């Protein structure tokens, strides 16, 4: 695993890989909405890099994740991260991705990357 947090990097990378599979390869563009702890601490934990890396087919242990945003720009993957604040308190890490692939095919992925804490 590359990064300080398994849920914010390895989990995020796996979500990016799943989204990549849904659109049939690396998308041309991605608008990625970050919710919960992804929105609050994701950038500092490498979530943005891990999601972009996953979208490009990097696995969670790929050292290129550290420079995935720069690689994405060189490769022509246009991305935008939007942080969303929930009206209510979020107890789980969550990310929703909207991806537009080459043939204007759109997929919507909303998935928690870590289980909710037990009460």
> Is the confidence at residue 54, as pLDDT, over 60?
yes
> Is the confidence at residue 8, as pLDDT, over 50?
yes
Higher pLDDT, 79 or 90: 79
Q: Cα separation of 61 and 15, whole Å? A: 14
pLDDT of amino acid 95: 57
Indicate the pLDDT class of residue 103, thresholds 50, 70 and 90. very low
The structure's pTM equals: 0.77
- Helix (H, G, I), strand (E, B), or coil: what is residue 107? strand
Q: Cα separation of 93 and 83, whole Å? A: 13
CA-based nearest residue to 68, from 26, 18, 102: 26
Q: Three-state secondary structure along 70-89? A: HHHHHHCCEEEEEECCCCCC
Bridge partners (DSSP) of residue 97 are 32, 109
Q: What is the mean pLDDT of residues 41-51?
A: 85
pLDDT digits (tens, 9 = 90+) for 64-84: 999 999 999 999 998 988 887
- The CA-based dihedral angle spanning residues 6, 10, 12, 14, taken in that order and rounded to the nearest 10 degrees: -140
What fold does the segment set 6-112 form as a domain?
A: 60s Ribosomal Protein L30; Chain: A; (3.30.1330)
């Amino acid at each position: 695993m590359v990064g300080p947090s398994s849920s914010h990097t390895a989990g995020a990378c796996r979500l990016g890989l799943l989204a990549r599979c849904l659109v049939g390869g690396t998308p041309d563009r991605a608008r990625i909405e970050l919710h919960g702890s992804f929105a609050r601490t994701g950038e500092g934990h490498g979530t943005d890099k891990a999601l972009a890396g996953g979208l490009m087919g990097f696995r969670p242990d790929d050292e290129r994740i550290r420079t995935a945003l720069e690689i994405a720009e060189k490769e022509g993957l246009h991305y935008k991260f939007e942080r969303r604040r929930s009206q209510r308190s979020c107890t789980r890490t969550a990310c929703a991705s909207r991806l537009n692939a080459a043939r204007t095919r759109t997929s919507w992925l909303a998935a928690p990357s870590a289980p909710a804490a037990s009460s």
